[in-house]
Amino acid sequence: LRSDISPLLKDPVAFRTLIDLLEDHVRASFPQIDFIAGTPLAQRLGIGFVPIRKKGKLPGPTESISYALEYGKAELEIQSDAVEPGQKVIIVDDLLATGGTMCAAYELLKRLEAEVLECLVIIELKSLKGSEKLKAVPFCSLLQYD
């Protein structure tokens, strides 16, 4: 399956190259970022990491959002104090399919009044039109497949 990045993650050289590409893109595009939501990229950039997880995985008070999947519903959460209003955040994920998960993550960060600079994915499945759901949000994908 072309949209499976597991082999890339298991190969240390390929994985490092992927992080290099993501780092180069982010450094060139956004000189000032406070947090990354979703990747080892935060460590490479020397900034904080903000986890957004499935419901029930995070401690403390959380904000929660329910969203539709192709096969049902899901819920994501972020800790209520994860970011301060106005802090700049980039959301990173491995895959954009229908866009439901990315839109939910974006909505959670907006509830906390973060400034979402970009939604960044490794692979975009163009035929599922997920990026159309992110109309108002800057979006970037490294690889696109129909």
Model confidence at 38, pLDDT cuts 50, 70, 90, reads confident
The pLDDT mean for the chain works out to 94
DSSP 72: E
Q: Rounding to the nearest 10 degrees, give the CA dihedral for residues 100, 37, 135, 3.
A: -60
Rounded CA gap, 28 and 30, in Å? 6
Segment 6-10 mean pLDDT:
91
**Any idea what the CATH number is for the domain that residue 89 is in?**
3.40.50.2020
Q: How many domains does the chain have?
A: 1
Residues 60/79, Cβ–Cβ less than 8 Å: yes
φ, ψ of residue 28 to 5 degrees: the values are -70, -30
Predicted pLDDT of residue 3:
72
Beta-bridged to residue 91, according to DSSP, are 37, 119
Which domain does 78 fall in, by range? Answer: 5-144
Predicted pLDDT of residue 2:
64
Task: Give the global pTM.
Answer: 0.93
Segment 52-79 mean pLDDT:
94
The per-residue pLDDT for range 104-116, each reduced to its tens digit, is 999 999 999 999 9
Left if phi > 0, otherwise alpha if psi is -120 to 50, otherwise beta: which for 126? alpha
- Token pair of 25 as six digits: 């893109």
Q: Rounding to the nearest 10 degrees, give the CA dihedral for residues 9, 11, 14, 17.
A: 70
Q: Which stretches does DSSP call E strand in 62-131? A: 62-69, 72-79, 88-96, 115-125
